[in-house]
Chains A and B, each alone.
Chain A
Amino acid sequence: MTAIFERIGLTFIRLFEQTGLWFEALRSTIKWMFRRPFDGREWLRQMVRVGVDSIPVVVLTSMFTGMVLALQTFIGFRRVHAEQFVASVVSLAMLRELSPVLVGLMVTGRVGSSMAAEIGTMKVTEQIDALKALATEPVQYLFVPRVIAGTVMLPFLTVIGDFLGIYGGYIVAVKLMHTNPVVYQQNTYQFLALNDVWSGLVKAAVFGLILTLTGCVRGYYTTGGAEGVGRATTNAVVSASLIILLSDFFLTKILF
């Protein structure tokens, strides 16, 4: 019995420890963000890596999500003769919820994991110590460009996701379910408010910060050799995904 309580206690201690490290890294990242030298080339390189290179995966995910969402809601709404609301449901769901969350999760899998692996490998091969020895603060050189790239590029990816998700829904409704295209388009915009767009973009920026910072922190605190790097990579994806899903609820609550 004592052993169980001990394990529960240890889990909580570790959780608080990790949370503390995360917020400490956030504080440090913000502090070093405004100090010279500003490494513009590295910032751009990370933006391409996080943003441009993620476009194909975002295109596919968003488009098919929009398509399946239209298909499902059409089937359900037809039972209560409310097919005309399919367009509104698809656009609202994509803008407010699905696009930012899906983009967040997909980029976590693609980029957050690779950041943890990259920084973790640097840690176990003493490259992080070498950076410090060369008077270069690892937080400034590694964390800052990645966190900026995540925070800036996720909203752009979300905009792409919004358009393609809505377009995917349009294809299914018009081409497969033979809805009137003009009516579908009208219904898409009719119930939308500006708030629906920007709240999704704010969420995306926060998710971008979460996934990149989590990847960096997990990599930075890697211990052990190759096994440690593998563990850090898995932990980065699991933790960032969980934090994104949890914070999504609270952000929705705050933003509306």
Chain B
Amino acid sequence: MPFIELHNLHKSFDGKQVLRDMSIDIERGETVVIVGGSGTGKSVTIKHIIGLLKPDRGHVIVDGEDITTMGEVELNQFRRRFGMAFQEGALFDSMNVYENIAFPLRRHTKMKEDEIRARVEECLEDVHLHGVEKKRPSELSGGMRRRVGFARAISLKPEILLFDEPTTGLDPVISDIIAELICEMDLKLGTTTVTITHDMKVAFKVADRVAMLYDGRIIEQGTPEKFQESTNPIVRQFIEGRAEGPLTDIDD
């Protein structure tokens, strides 16, 4: 039985259909990367997995439990099994780096302050950051903000890690460092990981399986090698980053 199942999801905003009959299964411990162009519903998909959005129709089943039917209190409890890193980090700007990472520990554990300090240091070590504990999010670069976001996401030792566009807006070198970091964290923590991105280099580097979202549904999926050999013209255009092709013909 798959660990995460997205069954026939439909979601629209103000009459615009974003997901239509979208389905994907993710196995325990697997690293899946969902790729797709801007506005294809990647962020909407990842937000459904953690219950930040409810589908108009369809089900999201995580470890056998349907989170679409959970009440707000139950869902809130269930989310402790997740860690999510947001596009721009989404760090709490009223807190410094230390307080950001300590936040879930203080809220959900009975750890003493010295244990919290040790765990925060360990998380920062995992993302290769040192001496930034007292800095405010506004004092950090884009890449550092993402890494602090990763550290916060792993602080409660989650079973499922979600990465929302982890490299958007970063230069190629920093993007590669972030991709390496995702691989390292994946290996060390043994989590089930779902990443959404439009950066194919990152996708091929971190994924066990790549899935492409187009027109509100998954149109292709497979191992990075198999995905790269896809003959689907939409997938080919996206991988090769060409201006001409079915993707742009429809958009035009």
Binding site for B on A (CB under 8 A): 35, 37, 118, 121-122, 125-127, 129-130, 132-137
Contacts and interface: CB of A to CB of B under 8 A. Distances in A.
A85 to B, nearest CB: 51
| B87, B90, B94 interface centre (most CB from chain A within 10 Å) | B90
A118 B94 CA distance: 10
Contacts of B227: none
Given A121-B93, A130-B91, A133-B83, 16 more contacts: A126-B87, A126-B88, A127-B90, A129-B47, A129-B86, A129-B90, A132-B50, A132-B76, A133-B84, A133-B86, A134-B152, A134-B156, A135-B77, A135-B104, A136-B103, A137-B76
Contact of A130 (B73, B86, B107): B86
Nearest to A129: B52
Given A37-B107, A127-B93, A137-B72, A132 B88 contact: no
Contacts of B103: 134, 136
B107 A132 contact: no
Nearest to B164: A126
Interface in B73-116: 73, 76-77, 79-80, 82-84, 86-88, 90-94, 103-104, 107-108
A133 B88 contact: no
B20 to A, nearest CB: 23
Contacts of B82: 133
* A-B pairs with lowest CB-CB distance, top 10: A130-B90, A133-B84, A126-B90, A135-B79, A135-B80, A134-B104, A126-B86, A137-B76, A127-B90, A129-B52
Contacts of B83: 133
Nearest to A130: B90
In this complex, the member of A35, A127, A130 whose beta carbon has the largest number of chain B beta carbons within 10 angstroms is A130
A136 B92 CA distance: 13
Nearest to B53: A129
11 contacts: A122-B92, A125-B88, A127-B91, A129-B47, A129-B86, A129-B90, A130-B91, A132-B50, A132-B52, A133-B52, A136-B76
Among A37, A132, A137, which residue has the most Cβ atoms of chain B within 10 A? A132
A134 B107 contact: yes
The range of chain B's interface size is 20 to 34
A125 to B, nearest CB: 6
Nearest to B162: A133
A35 B90 CA distance: 26
A130 B47 contact: no
Contacts of A137: 72-73, 76
Contact of A132 (B79, B93, B162): B79
Contacts of B156: 134
Contacts of A129: 47, 52, 86, 90
Given A135-B108, A137-B72, A130 B80 contact: no
A91 B107 CA distance: 47
Given A37-B107, A134-B103, A135-B108, A127 B92 contact: yes
A137 B51 CA distance: 12
Contacts of B107: 37, 134-136
A122 B92 CA distance: 8
A245 to B, nearest CB: 32
Contact of B76 (A118, A127, A135): A135
